[in-house]
């Protein structure tokens, strides 16, 4: 197996590990029905988010290395589009979602009792458009990588 082929395999593994976990994380929030369950979900997602972080950084590193080994990729619209989409997705992953998660943690920290506060549900619902956008961007990235349409 060549270095390039090895990087492609690592790129795919990073995508599966990183994207798979990131697709599951928002779904888990929907199952929390009590304040203690919501605290557990927040704690669980902090543990799970390690995989998407490692996967995301590995995707970027292997993708750029593949481009360095095959510089013709930098002339491919699908490759450049993928890099731009990746950057946009990172704005959501690094800039928006953690702030909302922190807000949810703060709500639970100041809450007493087992009933899940309505403010927690509200913030969780505010995450939905970002999560849907993030998942859509991931699908587009996968499509571009597999089909290479242009």
Q: Is pLDDT of 16 > 90?
A: no
Residues 67, 79: contact at Cβ < 8 Å?
yes
Q: State which residues form the domain around 66.
A: 3-147
The answer to pTM > 0.95 is no
User: Residue 25: is its pLDDT beyond 80?
Assistant: no
pLDDT digits (tens, 9 = 90+) for 69-120: 999 999 999 999 999 999 998 888 888 888 999 999 999 999 999 999 999 9
Taking the C-alpha atoms of residue 55 and residue 52, their distance in angstroms, rounded to an integer, is: 5
DSSP letters, 4-71, are: HHHHHHHHHHHHHHHHHHHHHHHHHHTT--BHHHHHHHHHHHHHHTHHHHHHHHHHHHHHHHHHHHSG
| Side-chain-facing half-sphere of 43: CA atoms under 13 Å | 8
∠ Cα 37 39 42 (to 5°):
110
What's the total number of domains in the chain?
1
- H-run or E-run covering 137: helix 118-147
Q: Which two tokens stand for residue 134?
A: 């993030």
């Amino acid at each position: 197996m060549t270095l390039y082929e090895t990087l492609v395999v690592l790129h795919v593994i990073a995508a599966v590990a990183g994207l798979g976990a990131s697709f599951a994380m928002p779904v888990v929030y929907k199952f929390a029905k009590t304040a203690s369950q919501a605290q557990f979900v927040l704690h669980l997602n902090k543990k799970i988010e390690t995989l998407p972080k490692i996967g995301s950084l590995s995707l970027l590193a292997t993708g750029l290395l593949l481009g360095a080994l095959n510089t013709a990729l930098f002339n491919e619209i699908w490759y450049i589009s993928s890099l731009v989409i990746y950057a946009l997705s990172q704005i959501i992953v690094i800039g928006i979602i953690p702030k909302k998660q922190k807000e949810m943690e703060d709500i639970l920290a100041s809450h007493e009792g087992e009933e899940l506060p309505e403010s927690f549900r509200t913030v969780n619902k505010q995450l939905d458009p970002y999560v849907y956008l993030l998942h859509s961007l991931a699908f587009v990235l996968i499509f571009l990588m597999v089909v290479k349409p242009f």
